[in-house]
Structure 1
Amino acid sequence: MRPPGARGHGGRPERSTGRAGPSPRRTGIARSPLLHEGEESPDGQPAAAEPLTPEHIKPRPLGHRGTSLGLNLVYTHLNRVIKARGLEALCVRPGHGGPSVLANSWLDGGYRDTYPDVTWDAQGLAQLFHQFSFPGGVPSHVAPEVPGSIHEGGGLGYALAHAHGAAFDLLSRLPEPELDALLRGYGHEPIHVGGDDPLQVHRALAAAFDEALDRVDLVQRTAPEEGVPQRPRRPVIVLRTPKGWTGPKEVDGEPVEGTWRAHQVPRAGVRENPAHLARAVGDVAEVVPARGLFDADGRPSADVLACVPSGTRRLGATP
């Protein structure tokens, strides 16, 4: 995220009163897993429109759930601070997170602005599902033609080439004290957030975004008047959550969450395996309470969109 060149209309924007962090459902963290579940699996049928059957499942589900769930978390908290502070931001992320980027850009309306035929209703949602990772559709990785994306490919290296110093996930094996020392050597002031309890991580990440942006804002406000006697340390948020977090913890007796098995779709044989299908239906019901998230026409509800920025500040409308 880049600091804003200006502070919005009329000077410094109002700050959010909910400094400890908003409700995960109210900010919309609940809605993106439902959408990328649809991109990965249902073949052109919006979730919860009718009971899920094998015929709704794509012959070869794809989706890279391992990174998409973490990106939903980041998008949710970015949306909050963008709206609260009037920021202009670009989120550069690993290309494997295609389902998350598509889902969030559809929700904030950026996708519809670029592709008007993918409408903001049940029909458009069905088209979004159907065309994902499908011949003549859109790729499973992010690409330049995806709103809110500026690079092609799945590996993190593409993102680092465009956002060096902003995002790293190559250092996860380092113990926290060593990683902290390394980042301080690069000139950063690390803010560490981690855990596996969703509510605690939400609160900690909300506080981390506020702390980091307050530090940037302090330098921007005081430097022109008081000068900068030495190079200020730039805040960096170090986020550690399990790979595939909030997805299935195990499948067929094998651990999934936090392991390499969470990289792709954890239940690839849903069409052929009734037990996997039943569990997939249960996963959606447990993770995403579908009632109230969409109106009768399939558009996101006002509650879901409460923290989504508007206009050019939407992540799906940048760049």
Structure 2
Amino acid sequence: MESLTSTELDTSKYAVQVDINNVSKDEIQPYIKLQRATNFLAGAMIFLKSNILLRNKLSFDDIKPRLLGHWGTCPAINLIYAHCTRLIKSRQLNMILVTGPGHGAPANLANLYIEGSLGKFYPEYGWSEEGLFNLIRGFSWPGGFPSHTNSELPGQIHEGGELGYALAVSFGAALDSPDLIVTCIVGDGEAETGPTATAWHAIKYLDPSTSGAVLPILNLNGFKISERTIYGCMSDDELVALFTGYGYQCRIVGDDLENIQQDMASSLEWAHDTIRKIQKAARSGQAIYKPRWPMLILRSPKGWTGPKEAHGQRIEGTFHAHQVPLPAAKKDDEELGILEKWLKSYKPEELFSEDYTPKQDLLDVFPDDSLKMGMRKETYGNYHPLSLAEWQDFSVKQEEDASPMKQAGKYLADVIKRNPEAFRIFCPDEMMSNKLDTVFDVSERVFEWDKDVFGKKGRILEILSEHTCQGMMQGYTLTGRTALFPSYEAFLGIVTTMVIQYAKFVKMGKETTWRPDIASLNYIETSTLWRQEHNGFSHQVPGFINSLINLKADMVRIYLPPDANCMISTLHHCLQSKNYVNLMISSKHPTSVWLTPEEADRHCRAGVSIWRKYSSNEGAHPHVILVGCGVETTFEVLAAAALLRKDCPRLRVRVVNVTDLMVLGFNHPHALSRTEFASIFGTHQPIIFNFHGYPSVIKDLTYDRHSVPGRLHVHGYKEEGTTTTPFHMLTANGCSRFDIAIDALQRVAPNDDVDINVHELVTEYRHRIKEHSKYIEECGQDPADLNERPSFSE
């Protein structure tokens, strides 16, 4: 068999060299002892329910019935936490830690316990026998802390469930925080994800004169759950070449395991000094173009200091250390013996006093409370409300046509001017195409690697990665500021799982006693499916709504403002709201303004209303109820109402608009009561609902709203679309004015009060749909009259 060879790259001139003897061995001994304590606690949390300091011989009865947790990454997290603590204390730094390997929660909990942060927020976890027992027994135990980092843990701004987002979150936290260093641990398994791959580029958007810094540490232990990692199979030269290409200065730590403690301490000092040089240059007016920020690559064995082997199988340094390294410890004598020997190797009697409290020399290694990473105000209680103008100052006259996004852009420009350090827009290169470009009258984009933008204090960050936009927005929001994420409707769903993870983080945070309010996450979906006929079928995806309606009711708000005035009113409301995930969906194209500012204010506050001036007999005693939800679909409802008024004047039509989607369901704070629902939607009349997205959304929300079966008939997007015309998108999906009018007539008939020839009118409307198809095939565009505001003259 031919031998395998590898052509190594000579990148030694790019790898950063540091004299590790800059830090003496004696100086770091207290922090090595701290790691013994945190490694012991991490291991004990995974396994023990009693005999927590092994003061008696370990027995099967001392082992938890369910062994949950991830040991493999804990020693590296403890190494990093200890030396970050040393750097914070020696340099009096403002630093927080974002832990990408989220299932390394035992390590985070161990450090938070010993530094006192856990006890500050949870008195039951104080320095006492009871507190230590609660920590160790309570981990992954009903009522205790879960196996991954989440908002219940002090100092955390990142949900540790799904991998890939820690780095982007860290960069978001650093924005507009000039004195803050965000140390981010990126697991080498996590580094294989797409979101992490793009987030490395976020240094190119970091302005060192006004923002803090991110120090990424790639935790390279070589294994994921049962396989080697990509990065673990790369040589030092390959890694340095990669990250040098990204724009970093790379320092590899841990090639010499015997000196890893000095190496880490010295490397962190180098990284800190490099950060300060970049920031000092920028803040003195001598900013460096394309500065190379520092990063560390930490090589350490998976499960380092843990069990070496069991049953003749190697554990440390393999994927067997990833989760529970001794899974049969509750029933296997050999594994129980190995567990006892392993935990005693940390010498807990030297770490904890007779009364179970940490020994004083451990407590002395930490800085003052205000600098401890678990007590940083940036991670909780840092909310800065926005200064906002009255939205009516940006309203338009009812008689005009206006683009909801154009008007929103004017409003957002004012928001930027009023909030130069507390508001940002994150967008995947779509501000111009989404007609929000008025913001560029008051702000540049931020892009430090673009010479045309370099050094300018932009508030808009555009990067063609929805994941990076989402992660940075999360980090920015969770550290007290407010952000907006506008996107093409079809592609916002890319971040669905990120939003769900974030919502879980906020839900748990709301249930703690010590996390105060934060700004809501705010999304605008535009370039919607109904006007993406030129881009074709791929751009016609309204499914983000479906994902959000399944979130916990007190977390999500979904708005579909029907015109420009309602859009600005909704945006004004969302930017002031707290703790929600807000989704606003509207059009970028000029469309009719249906409501005056006063009417829009009342309508948006109610969430749904009868539009009396567009209804027959002001909506009283209707034969049929036509409901619009969404810009284009509401336009068609109104056009259908006008059509029926002309062709069938005795038919009484009530026009209703829904702008707050969540009023329709039962289990939501905005939900209509049964009485309110009946007052708007009637009790027995057919309801023809023309919806912006998939019909299943309305059916899911209203499934138990109807005492009369079959009363609700939902029109919406049904996956029909191509490169065509805007009106053909509506007819293809059964959402045009003609489709709505046909459905209304057929649901009402037979009705002697109306006395109509249903067949004649239905045939006429179907004929118009066919004639439209012929017209666009010949002319390539819709007839101009289809865009005209419908007339409601008697």
Give the TM-score range, shorter chain: 0.7 to 0.9
CA-CA distance at 1:219 after TM superposition: 2.8
2:231 aligned partner: 171
CA deviation profile, 1:160-179 (whole Å, cap 9, x unmatched): 34134424456333221121
CA contact (8 A) 2:310 2:334 kept: no
Distance 1:225 1:136, change over 3 A: closer
- Counterpart of 2:289 in structure 1 is 230
Q: What letter is aligned with 1:43? A: K
* Match of residue 24 from structure 2: 20
- Give yes or no for the alignment of 1:190 onto 2:250: yes
8 Å CA contact 1:196–1:245 kept in 2: the answer is no
- Which of residues 175, 197, 200 is equivalent to 2:259? 200
Which residue in 2 is equivalent to 1:6?
none
Q: Which amino acid aligns with 2:242?
A: L
My pick for the range that moved more, 153-162 or 138-147, is 153-162
Partner of 1:36: 42
Amino acid at match of 2:375: A
1:121 aligns with 2:121: no
Offset at 1:151? Answer: 2.2
Where structure 2 has 5 or more consecutive residues not aligned to the other structure, the ranges are 1-20, 171-198, 201-215, 220-229, 380-794
Structure 1 position 314 matched with structure 2 position 372? yes
The yes-or-no answer on 1:292 pairing with 2:346 is: no
Q: Distance in 2 between matches of 1:210 and 1:216?
A: 10
CA contact (8 A) 1:27 1:306 kept: no
Structure 1 residue 82: Cα displacement: 0.7
**Counterparts of 1:104-183 in structure 2 under 5 Å?**
104-163=111-170, 164-165=199-200, 166-168=216-218, 171-183=231-243
- Corresponding residue for 1:12? none
Cα distance in 2 for partners of 1:254, 1:142 equals 30
- Residue 24 of structure 1 and its aligned partner are, at CA, apart by 5.7
What TM-score comes out, normalization by structure 2 length? 0.36
Structure 1 window deviating more from structure 2 (73-82 vs 288-297): it is 288-297
The Cα RMSD (Å) is 2.1
Q: Which has the higher strand share?
A: 2
Query: Residues of 2 paired with 1:176 and 1:32: CA distance?
Result: 29
CA apart distance, 1:69: 1.3
Question: What is residue 103 of structure 1 aligned with on the other side?
Answer: 110
Verify the 8 A CA contact 1:36 1:100 in the aligned structure 2. yes
Deviations 1:248-306 (A, max 9, x none): 121111111121111111111111112211121111222x1222311222111111123
1:250 aligns with 2:309: yes
Given the alignment of the two structures, is residue 302 of structure 1 paired with residue 308 of structure 2, yes or no? no
Partner Cα separation in structure 2 for residue 249 and residue 159 of structure 1: 30
Residue 144 of structure 1 aligns to a residue in which SS?
Answer: coil
| Deviation string, structure 1 residues 36-62 (Cα, Å, up to 9, x no partner) | 122111114421343321111001222
Given the two structures, how large is their TM-score scaled by the length of structure 1?
Answer: 0.88
Amino acid at match of 2:250: P
- Provide the aligned length of Structure 1 versus Structure 2: 301
Change (3 A) 1:45 1:147: farther
What secondary structure does 1:30 align onto? helix
Gaps of 5+ in 1: 1-16
Secondary structure at the residue paired with 2:365?
A: coil
Does the CA-based 8 Å contact 2:116-2:126 persist in structure 1?
no
Q: Does 1:53 align with 2:59?
A: yes
Could you say which structure has the larger radius of gyration? 2
**TM-superposed deviation, 1:312:** 2.3
* Identity, % of aligned positions: 35
Shift of 1:113: 1.0
Give a deviation string over 1:80-114, Cα, whole Å, max 9, x none.
Answer: 00111111111111111010011110111111111
Give 1:210's match in structure 2, choosing from 261, 264, 269.
269
CA contact (8 A) 2:307 2:338 kept: no
Structure 1 moving runs of 4+ over 6 Å: none
Partner of 1:276: 335
What SS does the aligned partner of 2:156 have?
coil
Deviation at 1:234, TM superposition (A): 0.4
